[in-house]
Every structure is written in C-alpha cells, then in structure tokens.
Structure 1
Amino acid sequence: MSAYGFAHLRNRRHHPDILEYLERIQATLDPFHGRFVIHGPPTEVVEGSWPGSMVLIEFPDLAEARAWYESPAYQEILRLRSDHIEGDVVLVEGVGPDYDPGVRAAKLRAEAVRRRR
C-alpha cells in the first residue's frame, strides 16, 4: 500500500541552506523509492484558507517512508529546511484502488451503534 510524506510549509524564507536542501533531498529519497508528487505552489484554494505551500512525496509503503525520514542521510539535511521554514510533516498510509468511502461509513455507523449499547 502506498504511503505519503506530506508537508504543510509556512513562512518560507529563501536562504542558501534551502537551495542546498533541494539539491540534496532526491539522493535521500532514491534508496527508499520516494518520489515527489506535489512540490510547492501554486495552490488553488477552493474552500477555507491555505497559508503556505505543500509537498507530497510517495513511497511504496509506510515502512519505506519511515525509513527514509529516519535515515542518516535525510537527518543530515533536515535542519537545512527546518531552520528556515516553519511547517508540519506527517507520514500517512494511502488507500488502495478498491477503497470505498461508503463501506467506511457503514463500519463507522456500526461502531457508533455498538458504543451506544
């Protein structure tokens, strides 16, 4: 099951460290089969507000995503970004091609009924 590293980045400040981070990050992703799906602006906000930009990196699974983030190679460059850009980063497992939100709703509804008993 694919997994994703998602970052919501705010208050970006251009700094030479950011350029170095960008130059080096792909080499940290390659051993874990990570690839950029989304990388920064522009963002079209259709509901609410969205301060900042987003990054989405796809991995084959959650174990690979965790291994990348915890890898010595990534940890070595992480401060190049985090010292200059405020943000939140999460790792999350995706859903498969057969995912049905109606099935999920039915499970949640049944769970709510069980809790009321």
Structure 2
Amino acid sequence: MKRILIVEDQADIRDLIRMSLEHGDFEIHEAEDGDQGLQMAQRLAPDLVLLDVMMPGQLNGLAVCKRLKADPSRKRTKVVMLSAKNQAADKQAGLSAGADAYLVKPFSPRQLLQSVAKVI
C-alpha cells in the first residue's frame, strides 16, 4: 500500500483529491498548510506528496518541495505540484524545485489518477 500525503489549504479540494484516491490501494493523510505538510512528510515518509503551490503560512509548496528533495531521507519521495498557475514559468519553477510532475487546477479525478500512476 502506497502512502500519500495531500498538502492543500482548501478543504473542498482536499476532499476531491481524497475521494478520487480512496478506491485505490493508498493510505491517505492530509495537511492544511506547508508547515504542517513538511512536518507530516518528515514523520510519515510518504511515497507521494500532492502539494499545492500557493498556501498560507511560512512555507508555500515550492519551499516544501525544495526541503523535501534536499533531505537525503526523503529524496525518494515523489512530489506532484498542484496549482492554478498555468504559465510555463510557473511549471518550470515547480519542476526546478524538485517536483516530479505539475498538475494544473482545475483537474479531473482522471487526470489526478493518471499523474499519480505516472510517478508511483
């Protein structure tokens, strides 16, 4: 069973993601902001982090991704960035931060599952 951490500040989007994944063989955890997400990722060692780019708090998604990828014990953790930002520079910023994929909101459950399947 793969462990997935959803880091998203909007409860309705977290719900959509969780509902899209709950039929798969996944152990799902949720965090409401980057600070909580980073702490949970360090504690839970997820296989995949679904990470919103724009979040309140001190750490946005790009900062969380950079810290995860810089941690030797979390280097294998896959990260899919989730963002409403659709410009090429935004996608490049996510990939440069270490993301394994970049999914633009709004996305369908099918698109989410395809992205998850590609990275884990």
TM bucket by the smaller chain? under 0.3
Q: With structure 2 as the length reference, what TM-score do the two structures score? A: 0.27
- Between 1 and 2, higher relative CO (CA 8 Å, sep ≥ 6) is seen in 1
Q: With structure 1 as the length reference, what TM-score do the two structures score? A: 0.27
User: Which of 1 and 2 has greater Rg?
Assistant: 1
